[in-house]
Structure 1
Amino acid sequence: MDITKRNRLLDLTRLTSRAGRPLTGVDRVEFAYLSHMLRHGPLWGLVRTSLGYVLLDVAGCAAFRDKVLSQDWGPADRLSRIKRGLDPMRARAEADLRRLCVARCLPLRLSAMLRRHLPSGLTYVNTGHTNLTDRVLSALRGLDARVSVFVHDTIPLDLPQYQRPGTVERFRHFLMRTARHADLILCNSHQTEDDLARHLAPDRVPPMISAPLGLDLCQPTKAPQGPWTAPYFVTLGTIEPRKNHALLLDLWDDIPEAHLLICGSRGWENHAVFERLDARPPRVHELPGLDDGQVAALLQGSAGLLFPSLAEGYGLPPVEAAALNVPVLVNDLPIYREVLGDIPVYANVSDRYLWRKEINRMAADHLSGQTRAEQAPRFAPPSWKAHFKAVLTLT
């Protein structure tokens, strides 16, 4: 079937929940699917709000996309005040959705709303690990809909000690629903396919397709100024235990000639690292809230990206740095071997001597003007065009 003729219903609950906050990797995937599917309609959008469900037509989906891009959300409405404790930006986003939607309903009326407005046999696509509930699946069955679910990784089951309370069980339920009800599982890598096969019972593995994520490489703008001098390194991502900022803080006393820029907001369950950062260790600088252009500019001027993460489903920061021809030092994870090949320097995080040695070498190379990235073949990142060519022929 021609991919431009399929009726699709894209779940936009995750993007709505992130209103006013920088987009994470999973958010960017949902946004990429929204942007691409708008060019290959007909498209509808489904959002679970704090007061029920809203349904967007293609015009509403386009307006929602523009709101996410601009973050120019309208004012909260009277209904927003019913839900106490709702984040103000999310309240404004949900009010906008009520103004943009073609229909909205309380949870008990979801099936009736979808039957009234949507054609039978459409494809529902969920990319955000959210809103794949029994209620939604039951309503979709009433439409004889095909269900495609993007599973980004199995990290909550593989590293439960690094998850927020309740995350592991929620993810386990999400994965079991996916195994029972999905007609197709979308994966970002063969590594994720292998991980899913390991966690799911052999008789409960739906068809899967793997397609590398595309890269929307942002043009560098103006790098923020600070007390750091060359050479400096960048580490990028939410400050949470899995990202392993603790390793870099442990090493930095032995990196006397370089500064460390930590670009990312503080996350959860990482109090020891937060205390160390609050003590303002020398040559370590915390830079939350930067936009993509500022981060790209910092990367371009750096001696390299350091990424000692303990686990990744895909890991966009090393891919972004490699696309900018910036040297990359990463933990030796299979996903990087699959996506980046020989581009990065690999060092197991258990080998602190090797990490210290490579960081000092990268700093010296930067000062001398000789970087490994300049000598290596130019990295050609995966494209969204190739991703959707593979995925949308089946969804």
Structure 2
Amino acid sequence: MQPAARLLDVTRLARRAGRVLTGVDRVELAYLRALLDRAEPVFGLTRTRLGYVLLDRQGLSGFSQRLTGAVDWGATDRLSAVMRGMEEQQKRVESDLRRLALARCLPPRLARMLATHLPKGSAYLNVGHSNLTDRVLFAVKHGAGMRIAVMIHDTIPLDFPQTQRPETKGAFREMLKRVRAKADLILCNSDQTRADVVRHMQAWGSVPDQLVAHLGADLAQGEPVSVATAPYFVTVGTIEPRKNHALLLELWEEMAKGADCPQLVICGARGWRNEAFLARLDASPLLGDRILECPDLTDGQITALLQGSCGLLFPSLAEGYGLPPIEAAALGVPVVCNDLPVYREILGDIPVYAGIEDRYLWLRTIRGMMQAPRADGQTDAAQRFTPPTWQQHFNAVLRLT
């Protein structure tokens, strides 16, 4: 049975407006676009410094246009102007959210606002790991009588806490407990994520129904970019411990001892808990020569870089899904990645799987890819892999919520 309306939580996008989008950001944006493209009633909810803002279709459309740069963010209003500790960009975002709002309220009035403006039988969708508080879940479920569907992207904060900020593990565990208690449906991006979610939630009680729906591959059109000279390799992702850039630095230090060291382009911003690696990188004579750090590239520029590269290198320690290898494979770009179950699930035998402890295999593979005929490898990979699509994803998800 289809809901009377859908309420998409866009808190994550509102908080990250103006920044380079992460994988989870891009999923929330895909949901925003998909729901706006459908005829069924759609609303948006976001948390601000002062409370909550409810957007109708027109407001969501205006928000989407600002996110994508089609419309500029407006001026800071009087409320945001007096807010301390807010970046100027965030002040403009929250000012426009209030201008676009169908309704807004202080935190204690959230349930009343939702019950007033949303029809009975509506569904709440949260795909951004944000705003999943006791207040919001109680207001949505008990105050407004809505079904709740939540996407869990991974359980990495619980399984690999050493790669996270100190406070992340506890906060994530409590969030997952709240979702288990209140959600009607858990959306999972892979069978691996589903197994991890069930494993953790079963320790706390019964587990809501789950649906596995692979994420679509966003293949941006290539845009002109002059960063590297062939031969070069690319790695994509925030520079954080889990992405294991340290292995790549070690490999490049080894290859730089010879005459034919390729370039490595790191596409991603500097992240958290990575001080030791970043100090090594900054001190390396390879930085700016054989290793290039590019934190602000557009999706189109990354596409062009990948298409001209020898391959994508992705030695991540853990992934719930991991879009870069999937998108690279969809472009026909050779991929070398850690041997993780999620890649076996989605990519099959397309990548070269190299355990992160086997430096010799990484070096041998990289050197071999430098010498391989690029076009032949690209054609072969492209012919063997059809990436999941957002249409397939939403056909599965929106049938149930």
Q: TM-score range, shorter-chain basis?
A: over 0.9
Question: Matches of 1:105 and 1:150 in 2, distance apart?
Answer: 26
Q: Does 1:372 align with 2:377?
A: yes
Say whether the 8 Å CA contact 1:45–1:61 is kept in structure 2: yes
Instruction: Render the CA deviation track for 1:58-115: whole Å, top value 9, x for unaligned.
Output: 1111111111111721111111133211121111111000000011111111112112
Q: Is the 8 A contact 1:16 1:47 kept in 2?
A: yes
Tell me, in whole angstroms, the C-alpha distance in 2 between the residues paired with 1:370 and 1:186.
Answer: 38
- Secondary structure of residue in 2 paired with 1:128: coil
Does residue 315 of the first structure (1) align with residue 322 of the second (2)?
yes
CA displacement, residues 330-350 of structure 1 (integer Å, 9 cap, x when unaligned): 000000011111111100101
Secondary structure in structure 2 of the residue aligned to 1:54: strand
2:282 matches 1:278: yes
Which residue identity is paired with 1:300? Q
**Counterpart in 1 of 2:164?**
163
- Residues 1:345 and 2:349 aligned together: no
Asked if 2 retains the 8 angstrom alpha-carbon contact of 1:224 and 1:294, the reply is: no
Q: Deviations over 1:275-317 (max 9, x none)?
A: 1221243211111101111111111110000000000111000
How far apart, in 2, do the equivalents of 1:116 and 1:33 lie? 24
Equivalent residue number for residue 151 of structure 1 = 152
The match for 1:385 among 387, 391, 399 is: 391
Moved more, 72-81 or 272-281: 272-281
Counterpart CA distance in 2 for 1:138 and 1:316 is: 33
Unmatched segments (≥5 aa) in structure 1: none
Question: For residue 167 of structure 2, what is the amino acid of its counterpart?
Answer: G
Check conservation: 1:327, 1:371, Cα contact below 8 A.
Answer: no
Q: Hey, what's the Cα distance between the residues in 1 that align with 2:138 and 2:311? A: 49
- SS of alignment partner, residue 299 of structure 1: helix
* Whole-Å separation in 1 of the counterparts to 2:26 and 2:207: 26
Query: Using the alignment, how far apart are the partners of 2:15 and 2:26 within structure 1?
Result: 13
- Aligned counterparts of 2:49 and 2:216: Cα–Cα separation in 1: 32
- Aligned-residue offset at 1:6: 3.5
Instruction: Provide the residue aligned with 2:131 in structure 1.
Output: 131
The answer to whether the 8 Å contact 1:231/1:303 transfers is yes
- SS at 2:339 equivalent: coil
- Aligned residue in 2 for 1:224: 226
Correspondence for 1:361: 368
1:31 corresponding residue in structure 2? 29
**How many residues are matched?**
389
Q: Does 1:269 align with 2:270?
A: no
Q: Which runs of no fewer than 5 residues in structure 2 stay unpaired? A: none
Measure, in 1, the Cα distance between the counterparts of 2:269 and 2:175: 26
Alpha-carbon offset, residue 38 of structure 1 = 1.3
Q: Would you say 1:259 and 2:278 are equivalent positions?
A: no
Question: Aligned-pair distance for 1:10?
Answer: 0.6
**Would the aligned equivalents of 2:224 and 2:304 in 1 still touch at CA under 8 Å?**
yes
Q: Distance between the aligned counterparts of 1:116 and 1:82, measured in 2?
A: 30
Show the 5 A alignment for 1:184-199.
184-199=185-200
The Cα shift of 1:153 comes to 0.5
Q: Which residue of 1 aligns with 2:66?
A: 67
Per-residue deviation, residues 165-184 of structure 1 (Å, max 9, x unmatched): 21111111110011111000
- Paired residue type of 2:380: Q
Q: TM-score if structure 1 supplies the norm length?
A: 0.95
User: Does residue 293 of the first structure (1) align with residue 293 of the second (2)?
Assistant: no
Are 1:44 and 2:43 counterparts? yes
Cα RMSD for the two superposed structures: 1.4
What letter matches 1:107 in structure 2?
P
Q: Deviations over 1:230-285 (max 9, x none)?
A: 11000111000000000000111232431111111101111122112212432111
Q: What percentage of aligned pairs have identical amino acids?
A: 58
SS of corresponding position for 1:204? coil
> 2:7 aligns to what?
9
Counterpart residue identity of residue 52, structure 2: Y
**Quick check: 385-394 or 276-285, which moved more?**
276-285
Structure-1 separation of matches of 2:338 and 2:182 = 35
Detail structure 1 runs of 4+ shifted over 6 Å in the superposition: none
Residue 83 of structure 1 aligns to a residue whose secondary structure is coil
